[in-house]
Amino acid sequence: MRLSSKVTTLLILAAVIAIAPVFFPSSYYFRVGSLIFVNGLAVTGLVILIGYAGQISLGHAGFAGIGAYACALAPVHLGLHPALAALLGALLSAAIAYLVGRPILRLKGYYLAVASLGFGILVSMVLSNEAQLTGGPDGMAVPELGLRAVLKAIGIDLSNTEFWYAFSGLVLVIGAWLALNLYHSPTGRALRALHGSEVAARTVGVDVAHYKLVAFVISAVYASVSGSLLALQNKFITPDVAGFMHSIEMVTMTVLGGAGSVLGAILGAAILTTLPQVLTIFQEYEQLMLGLVMMLVMIFMREGLLPSIARRIRGRAE
Amino acid sequence: MSLLQIEGLGIDFGGLRAVNDVGFSLKPGEIVSVIGPNGAGKTTLFNMISGVYAPARGRVVLDGEDVTRMPPHLLARRGLSRTFQNLQIFQSMSVLENAVAGHHLHERGSVFADLFSLPAARRRSKASEDSARALLDRVGLGRAAEQEASSLSYGALKRLEIARALALKPRVLLLDEPAAGCNAVETEEIDHLIAQVAAEGVSILLVEHDMKMVMRISNHIVVLDHGEKIAEGEPTAISRNPRVVEAYLGVQATEAKHVDR
């Protein structure tokens, strides 16, 4: 039963990604789709941190920034292929998450929130101020990944937007698979145990500080890869990727969709990525409506959209 | 030789001597109960022994090693496990997962194996799940395995905590009011369970308000009052000790005499 919930989630996700393009009226929707997947990936990492381990971070855009700028800088300065640059960014993010996480994960609740916020701000300041290296607030160009050309050579000819839709979708499915594997694993249980009761987790032998750090590092790698994908598909990057707003967006997507559920959080990413565009029909009231929707969801669906809806359907079925 | 030795343990909370100069020892397979009126410092004593609080004075020695102020997860590795008076259940997990989580020390491995669900990780999960099911059967919760833990009754959650603590395969088990909130039948089941576990060589330190149960199963009783040890000895001796009767048993004294062995 537990295993099937993992397979079901992956099947639903893969099916939606594969079938949705049938209904796309224009290539613009491929672009929106790939943005959803990029956000979905970062949010899946936050499910591990927030949903599994019960820790908060308001600075994860900092890791997205590291991943994004690694793809911009490493090819130019180190001569790395962009794919290797993304890998380097992920390793760097993991290392920085380890160093930053050790001291700040001793903090709880809003203390941790503020400390992580500080980290995010620090990264975006560095990216903005080191203008010689990063182009400052104006941003900088990112080289082509080159995978599309390879695919074309073997006979798979995709447009740029189609390619990024498929590629980010694939990475998202892999990310979701890893996160779901983790959920049912000994590590996942340790994370959920310390979320449920730290003192009880300790008494069954869970090294709480270590496992919080594990969740922090893994979620940082997700954010970093998400930032790399964004940079590579936009072929341009600005410090906004590491900005405060981006961190807040990530957490909002996660919590709104359902921090305890990978699929829920991805749904949250989909809604908050598309909603602002749907709400443009309200014209100047767009932001107002967005805020209202978010408040109503949190008031009436405390666990987030998907878990709340699932619970109601199950309740009705019984 | 004693497995767990407590020497002159004490802690203060804001000038108040919550526990002072308490000492006793446990041999393998022995059941020692700590009794005393509410506020006598029983749970505080448990928290110091299990590493949740850092004692200000005294020593805790486990199998010859000084483990005073050692964090709980390291004590767990040395075979010391406990349950809680105010339940500490992993609420968002199923009953089975709670019991599986107790196997942490036996099932933990590489994070990469867990992320990629490698055969090694699946094997570890499977082994702890099998063991968890057996433990749930043992505490009478086998049929509730798939339920959400939050749906269980108070008494059932107490037993779930015992199953989770047993999952560590402990050498010393601290049980804080395991029979609280249980009916007579459940209390008797817990009673048997504790005796069985002790018979396997596990030392048990028990805090319990059910005097009948304490008198029946304890090898040795330690009496606390106002954070100090006022008496210790065999159940029969304790129930006749005038100081204990005065300080604690009071109205229950007649009841205690009835169960004299």
Q: Is B85 a domain residue? A: no
Query: Among all chains, which residue has been given the structure tokens 């957490």?
Result: A251
CB contacts, 8 Å: B113 with chain A:
185
Helices within B40-183 (DSSP H only)? 42-49, 72-77, 95-101, 104-107, 111-115, 119-138, 154-166
Predicted confidence (pLDDT) per residue in A116-164, tens digit: 999 999 999 999 999 888 988 989 999 999 898 999 999 888 899 999 9
Same-domain check for residues B217 and B116: no
CB contacts, 8 Å: A195 with chain B:
90, 92
Same-domain check for residues B156 and B174: no
pLDDT score, position B210: 86
Amino acid letter, B224: L
| Contact across the interface for B104 and A188, Cβ inside 8 Å | no
Same-domain check for residues B162 and B179: no
| Contact across the interface for A206 and B73, Cβ inside 8 Å | yes
Q: How far is CA B77 from CA A254, B124, B178, in A?
A: 35, 17, 23
Cβ of B71 under 8 Å from any chain A Cβ? yes
pLDDT score, position A257: 92
CB contacts, 8 Å: A188 with chain B:
114
Mutating which of B117, B146, B157, B205 best tests the A interface, going by the most A Cβ atoms within 10 A?
B117
Picking from B142, B168, B194, the residue at the C-terminal end of a domain is: B168
Same-domain check for residues B130 and B251: no
Chain B closest-CA separation from residue A143 CA (Å): 31
Distance CA B129, CA B141 (A): 14
Q: Which helix (H) or strand (E) holds B147?
A: none
Same-domain check for residues B65 and B115: no
Mean pLDDT across A180-202 = 96
| Contact across the interface for A200 and B89, Cβ inside 8 Å | yes
pLDDT category, A284, cuts 50, 70, 90? confident
| Contact across the interface for A192 and B101, Cβ inside 8 Å | yes
pLDDT at A2 over 70: no
Residue B117 φ then ψ, to 5°: 50, 45
| Contact across the interface for A186 and B81, Cβ inside 8 Å | no
Mean pLDDT across B70-89 = 95
pLDDT score, position B15: 85
pLDDT score, position A318: 57
Helix, strand, or coil (residue B22)? strand
| Contact across the interface for B114 and A190, Cβ inside 8 Å | no
| Contact across the interface for A186 and B97, Cβ inside 8 Å | no
Look at chain B and report how many structural domains it folds into: 2
Distance CA A315, CA A318 (A): 5
pLDDT at A48 over 80: yes
Indicate the Cα dihedral angle A116, A119, A123, A124, nearest 10°: 60
pLDDT category, B256, cuts 50, 70, 90? very low
Pick from B52, B67, B1: nearest CA to B203: B1
pLDDT category, B260, cuts 50, 70, 90? very low
pLDDT score, position A109: 87
CB A49 within 8 A of CB A55: yes
CB A42 within 8 A of CB A250: yes
Q: Which residues contact B145 (CB under 8 A, 6 or more apart)?
A: B94, B95, B96, B99, B133, B136
Between residues B32 and B15, the one the model is more confident about: B32
Same-domain check for residues B183 and B131: no
pLDDT score, position A288: 84
| Contact across the interface for B92 and A195, Cβ inside 8 Å | yes
pLDDT category, B209, cuts 50, 70, 90? confident
pLDDT at A243 over 50: yes
CB contacts, 8 Å: B145 with chain A:
none
Mean pLDDT across A227-233 = 97
Predicted confidence (pLDDT) per residue in A291-316, tens digit: 888 888 888 888 888 888 888 888 77
Q: Is B84 a domain residue? A: no
Cβ of B47 under 8 Å from any chain A Cβ? no
Q: How far is CA A20 from CA A50, A165, A281, B105, in A?
A: 29, 11, 23, 44
Residue of chain A minimizing CA distance to B92: A196
pLDDT score, position B249: 56
Predicted confidence (pLDDT) per residue in A9-45, tens digit: 999 999 999 999 999 999 899 999 999 999 999 999 9
Mutating which of A204, A207, A208, A314 best tests the B interface, going by the most B Cβ atoms within 10 A?
A204
Picking from B147, B168, B189, the residue at the C-terminal end of a domain is: B168
Query: Among all chains, which residue has been given the structure tokens 């979708």?
Result: A169
Across the A:B interface, residue pairs with CB atoms under 8 Å apart total 113
CB contacts, 8 Å: B146 with chain A:
1
Same-domain check for residues B57 and B36: yes
Helix, strand, or coil (residue B231)? strand
Distance CA A197, CA B157 (A): 14
B108-143 burial by CB neighbour count: b if 16+ within 10 A, else e? Answer: bbebebbbbbbeebbebbeebbebbbebbebbbbee
Distance CA A213, CA A208 (A): 9
**Which residues 191-220 in chain B show a CB within 8 A of chain A?**
none
Distance CA B174, CA B166 (A): 11
pLDDT at B259 over 50: no
Same-domain check for residues B68 and B184: yes
| Contact across the interface for A187 and B104, Cβ inside 8 Å | no
Same-domain check for residues B101 and B28: no
Q: Is B138 a domain residue? A: yes
Q: Which residues contact B123 (CB under 8 A, 6 or more apart)?
A: none
CB contacts, 8 Å: A185 with chain B:
113-115, 117, 121, 125
Same-domain check for residues B163 and B120: yes
pLDDT at A286 over 80: no
pLDDT score, position B250: 57
**Domain-by-domain residue ranges, chain A?**
2-244
pLDDT score, position A122: 95
Query: Among all chains, which residue has been given the structure tokens 């002072």?
Result: B20
pLDDT category, B201, cuts 50, 70, 90? very high
pLDDT at B254 over 80: no
Q: From the CA atom positions of chain B, what is the Rg in Å?
A: 19
pLDDT score, position A178: 98
ipTM: 0.90
* Domain that residue B105 falls in: 90-168
pLDDT score, position B261: 39
Same-domain check for residues B155 and B238: no
Same-domain check for residues B120 and B132: yes
pLDDT score, position A16: 96
Nearest by CB: B92 against A187, A200, A260? A260
DSSP 8-state class, residue A182: H
Distance CA B236, CA A316 (A): 57
pLDDT score, position B247: 73
Helix, strand, or coil (residue A65)? helix
Picking from B135, B168, B201, the residue at the C-terminal end of a domain is: B168
CB contacts, 8 Å: A214 with chain B:
111
